[in-house]
Structure 1
Amino acid sequence: MGNTTHYSFQYQRGMSYWGWLLLVAVLGFVLTCASRMAPAYLDARYVTEGLKILAENPDLETMSAGQIKKELGRFFLINNVRGEPTEALQVVRGAKGTLVSINYELRQPLIYNVDVVMKFNKQLNTASPELCCDALVDLEQFRKRD
């Protein structure tokens, strides 16, 4: 009785040096990208969360622009959101409601002279708070309707 299935160990070696080197390089690049970009996306998530909490405020229509900025500023301070998102906050009163807009872009250095540009545009329109956080209104057109 001979064994008809014949396995040869010469074809079962595993990854070569170059295979491992490529795997480590790709994994390193992915981790570098994630470590540089993740904080910006985390801040954007907190911006969205802050606008949703603001949308639930029953006094939002009667609040002044300063009060709205103070309320969001307090939320951002608690959640450690700094920089561009806090500086880009705009409150615009219109005929049909109030628009709270946080529109900004971040340029993050990735590797040497390569930068990643991330754009974020979050809006809360009091005329339709259920559509919170998606940029549905052109801010310039909203201002012209006044």
Structure 2
Amino acid sequence: MTNEKDYTLLSGLTLAYVGDAIYETYIRDYLVKSGQTRPNQLHRLATHYVSAKAQHYLIEQMMMQDLLAEIEQDIYRRGRNAKSHTSAKNTSIAVYRSSTGFEALMGYLHLTEQKERLEEIIAWCIQTIGEKNNEKTSK
């Protein structure tokens, strides 16, 4: 007997709870595998990818470039529109909610075992943040 769950029925905040951990793990793996080993440096670099502002930027870019399937957009919106009882730190409520939607998408892809799609999106995120950081340093 299989124990299949319909993860589309989970709340946006539950999906975001899982997605936050999954996305951060992928980013930490990427940074260590790319040769970063000093904890303070790792933490500082990780924030370029995992902060609410970074996630908001990434999901905005995904939506503008039409990179998400309809169900992925729906999951993002569910996370974004979820009523959280925690408040945004160092950012606006709109940015915080958008990042919650981003995390909900990561959680959904992980829980539904869409590993290839999850890794495709995360690789895109890493490349996009890298390009954004390169633009900043070249100015």
User: TM-score of the superposition, structure 1-length normalised?
Assistant: 0.28
Structure with greater contact order relative to length (CA < 8 Å, sep ≥ 6):
2
User: Which structure has the larger Rg over C-alpha atoms?
Assistant: 1
User: TM-score of the superposition, structure 2-length normalised?
Assistant: 0.29
Structure with the bigger percentage of strand: 1
